[in-house]
Amino acid sequence: MAAIPPAVPPQPGGPGPRQPVHAAIGLGANLGDAQGRIRDALALIDALPATRLVAASRLWRSAPVEANGPDFHNAVAIVETRLDAFALLDALRLIEAGAGRERPYRNAPRTLDLDLLLYGDGRIDAPPRLVVPHPRMAERAFVLRPLLEVAPDATIPGIGPAADRVGALAGQRAEPTS
Protein backbone atom coordinates (compact mmCIF):
# COMPACT_ATOMS: atom_id res chain seq x y z
CA MET A 1 0.00 0.00 0.00
CA ALA A 2 1.32 3.42 -0.90
CA ALA A 3 2.44 5.52 2.02
CA ILE A 4 0.20 8.40 2.90
CA PRO A 5 2.10 11.56 2.05
CA PRO A 6 2.78 13.90 4.96
CA ALA A 7 0.45 16.83 5.33
CA VAL A 8 1.76 19.90 3.58
CA PRO A 9 1.85 22.82 6.00
CA PRO A 10 -0.57 25.49 4.84
CA GLN A 11 1.11 28.25 2.87
CA PRO A 12 0.22 31.70 4.22
CA GLY A 13 -2.26 33.20 1.82
CA GLY A 14 -2.87 29.81 0.23
CA PRO A 15 -6.15 28.07 -0.57
CA GLY A 16 -8.77 27.38 2.03
CA PRO A 17 -11.69 29.01 3.79
CA ARG A 18 -10.64 32.13 5.54
CA GLN A 19 -11.68 35.17 7.44
CA PRO A 20 -11.67 38.41 5.48
CA VAL A 21 -8.19 39.82 5.01
CA HIS A 22 -7.17 43.35 4.15
CA ALA A 23 -4.87 43.45 1.13
CA ALA A 24 -3.10 46.37 -0.55
CA ILE A 25 -2.97 46.53 -4.34
CA GLY A 26 -0.71 48.85 -6.33
CA LEU A 27 -2.03 50.18 -9.64
CA GLY A 28 0.08 51.80 -12.34
CA ALA A 29 -0.21 52.71 -16.01
CA ASN A 30 1.73 54.83 -18.46
CA LEU A 31 0.13 54.26 -21.86
CA GLY A 32 -3.03 55.74 -23.37
CA ASP A 33 -5.71 56.91 -20.96
CA ALA A 34 -3.76 55.82 -17.90
CA GLN A 35 -5.94 57.62 -15.36
CA GLY A 36 -9.11 56.21 -16.91
CA ARG A 37 -7.68 52.70 -16.85
CA ILE A 38 -6.80 53.01 -13.17
CA ARG A 39 -10.30 54.25 -12.33
CA ASP A 40 -11.82 51.40 -14.35
CA ALA A 41 -9.53 48.90 -12.61
CA LEU A 42 -10.62 50.16 -9.18
CA ALA A 43 -14.25 49.49 -10.13
CA LEU A 44 -13.35 46.03 -11.42
CA ILE A 45 -11.43 45.24 -8.22
CA ASP A 46 -14.47 46.30 -6.18
CA ALA A 47 -16.58 43.91 -8.29
CA LEU A 48 -14.34 40.87 -7.72
CA PRO A 49 -16.00 37.96 -5.95
CA ALA A 50 -15.71 37.92 -2.15
CA THR A 51 -13.92 41.25 -2.31
CA ARG A 52 -14.80 44.87 -1.64
CA LEU A 53 -12.86 48.05 -2.08
CA VAL A 54 -12.29 49.64 1.33
CA ALA A 55 -10.24 52.66 0.26
CA ALA A 56 -8.48 54.08 -2.78
CA SER A 57 -5.75 56.70 -2.75
CA ARG A 58 -5.75 59.76 -4.94
CA LEU A 59 -4.18 59.34 -8.35
CA TRP A 60 -0.45 60.07 -8.35
CA ARG A 61 1.94 60.86 -11.17
CA SER A 62 5.48 59.52 -11.03
CA ALA A 63 8.66 59.29 -13.04
CA PRO A 64 9.25 55.80 -14.50
CA VAL A 65 11.47 53.66 -12.22
CA GLU A 66 13.16 50.73 -13.98
CA ALA A 67 10.67 51.21 -16.81
CA ASN A 68 10.39 53.06 -20.09
CA GLY A 69 8.04 55.60 -21.60
CA PRO A 70 6.04 58.51 -20.29
CA ASP A 71 5.28 59.31 -16.65
CA PHE A 72 3.24 56.75 -14.76
CA HIS A 73 -0.07 57.28 -13.05
CA ASN A 74 -0.41 55.33 -9.83
CA ALA A 75 -2.79 54.56 -7.01
CA VAL A 76 -3.04 52.13 -4.12
CA ALA A 77 -6.23 50.33 -3.15
CA ILE A 78 -7.09 48.58 0.09
CA VAL A 79 -9.51 45.69 -0.27
CA GLU A 80 -11.19 43.36 2.15
CA THR A 81 -11.24 39.92 0.57
CA ARG A 82 -11.95 36.30 1.29
CA LEU A 83 -9.99 35.24 -1.80
CA ASP A 84 -6.71 33.57 -1.04
CA ALA A 85 -3.67 35.49 -2.21
CA PHE A 86 -3.12 33.34 -5.30
CA ALA A 87 -6.73 33.67 -6.43
CA LEU A 88 -6.52 37.41 -5.85
CA LEU A 89 -3.37 37.62 -7.96
CA ASP A 90 -5.03 35.59 -10.74
CA ALA A 91 -8.01 37.95 -10.68
CA LEU A 92 -5.67 40.95 -10.95
CA ARG A 93 -3.94 39.33 -13.93
CA LEU A 94 -7.31 38.97 -15.67
CA ILE A 95 -8.07 42.65 -15.11
CA GLU A 96 -4.65 43.52 -16.55
CA ALA A 97 -5.31 41.34 -19.58
CA GLY A 98 -8.70 42.97 -20.07
CA ALA A 99 -6.96 46.34 -20.20
CA GLY A 100 -4.84 45.07 -23.09
CA ARG A 101 -1.71 44.50 -21.02
CA GLU A 102 1.07 42.87 -23.02
CA ARG A 103 4.54 41.93 -21.85
CA PRO A 104 6.70 42.29 -24.98
CA TYR A 105 9.81 42.70 -22.81
CA ARG A 106 10.68 43.28 -19.15
CA ASN A 107 9.64 46.71 -17.87
CA ALA A 108 7.98 47.69 -21.15
CA PRO A 109 5.50 50.57 -20.98
CA ARG A 110 2.20 49.26 -19.72
CA THR A 111 -1.47 49.92 -20.11
CA LEU A 112 -2.10 48.58 -16.61
CA ASP A 113 0.07 47.02 -13.93
CA LEU A 114 -1.50 45.56 -10.80
CA ASP A 115 0.70 44.37 -7.94
CA LEU A 116 -0.32 42.58 -4.79
CA LEU A 117 1.62 44.63 -2.25
CA LEU A 118 0.38 43.32 1.11
CA TYR A 119 -1.91 40.48 2.10
CA GLY A 120 -2.83 40.98 5.73
CA ASP A 121 0.36 40.54 7.70
CA GLY A 122 1.27 37.52 5.59
CA ARG A 123 4.57 36.67 3.98
CA ILE A 124 4.31 34.50 0.88
CA ASP A 125 7.41 33.16 -0.80
CA ALA A 126 6.35 31.36 -3.95
CA PRO A 127 8.59 32.84 -6.68
CA PRO A 128 8.26 33.49 -9.50
CA ARG A 129 4.49 33.34 -9.16
CA LEU A 130 3.91 35.29 -6.01
CA VAL A 131 6.05 37.03 -3.44
CA VAL A 132 4.36 39.10 -0.72
CA PRO A 133 5.13 41.70 0.49
CA HIS A 134 5.91 42.82 -3.06
CA PRO A 135 9.71 42.69 -3.06
CA ARG A 136 10.33 46.21 -4.35
CA MET A 137 7.50 48.09 -2.68
CA ALA A 138 9.65 49.60 0.09
CA GLU A 139 11.97 51.19 -2.48
CA ARG A 140 9.28 52.99 -4.45
CA ALA A 141 7.84 56.36 -3.53
CA PHE A 142 4.98 55.85 -6.01
CA VAL A 143 3.89 52.88 -3.90
CA LEU A 144 4.57 54.08 -0.37
CA ARG A 145 3.17 57.59 -0.67
CA PRO A 146 -0.29 56.53 -1.94
CA LEU A 147 -0.24 53.57 0.45
CA LEU A 148 0.28 55.91 3.40
CA GLU A 149 -2.71 57.99 2.28
CA VAL A 150 -5.05 55.04 2.72
CA ALA A 151 -3.17 53.10 5.41
CA PRO A 152 -1.01 55.47 7.48
CA ASP A 153 -0.14 52.67 9.91
CA ALA A 154 0.75 50.11 7.23
CA THR A 155 3.53 47.75 8.23
CA ILE A 156 5.52 45.83 5.67
CA PRO A 157 6.12 42.36 7.11
CA GLY A 158 9.84 41.74 7.53
CA ILE A 159 10.65 45.40 6.94
CA GLY A 160 8.66 47.59 9.32
CA PRO A 161 6.35 50.61 9.19
CA ALA A 162 5.93 52.01 5.68
CA ALA A 163 6.10 55.51 7.15
CA ASP A 164 9.68 54.87 8.29
CA ARG A 165 10.80 54.09 4.74
CA VAL A 166 9.31 56.91 2.74
CA GLY A 167 11.75 59.63 3.86
CA ALA A 168 14.64 57.85 2.15
CA LEU A 169 12.76 58.06 -1.16
CA ALA A 170 12.37 61.84 -1.25
CA GLY A 171 14.48 61.98 -4.42
CA GLN A 172 11.90 60.04 -6.42
CA ARG A 173 9.38 62.23 -8.19
CA ALA A 174 5.80 61.33 -7.24
CA GLU A 175 3.00 63.85 -6.74
CA PRO A 176 -0.77 63.61 -6.40
CA THR A 177 -2.84 64.78 -9.37
CA SER A 178 -6.34 64.43 -7.95
Q: How far is the CB of 79 from ligand AMP (least distance, A)?
A: 14
* Cβ atoms of residues 140 and 165 within 8 Å: no
Residue with Cβ nearer ligand AMP (23 or 141): 23
List, in order, residues 6 or more apart from 126 with CB less than 8 Å away.
11, 86
* Cα–Cα dist 24/148, whole Å: 11
Binding residue for ligand AMP (CB under 6 A) from 131, 150, 163, 169?
A: 131
1-60 binders of ligand AMP (CB under 6 A):
none
Q: Binders of ligand AMP: how many residues, by CB under 6 A?
A: 11
Smallest gap from Cβ 47 to ligand AMP, in A, equals 19
Find the angle CA(121)-CA(149)-CA(141) to the nearest 5 degrees. Answer: 85
CB-nearer residue toward ligand AMP: 68 or 178: 68
| Contact mark string toward ligand AMP, 106..125, x via CB under 6 A | -------x-xx---------
Q: Are 163 and 94 in contact (CB under 8 A)?
A: no
Q: Is 148 in the site for ligand AMP (CB under 6 A)?
A: no
87 binds ligand AMP (CB under 6 A): no
| Residue 49 beta carbon to ligand AMP: minimum distance, rounded to whole angstroms | 19
Rounded distance between C-alpha atoms, residue 69 and residue 80, angstroms: 33
For 107-173, list the strands marked E by DSSP: 113-119, 124-126, 130-132, 155-156, 160-161
104 binds ligand AMP (CB under 6 A): no
Q: Does 67 bind ligand AMP (CB under 6 A)?
A: no
Element (H, E) at 169: none
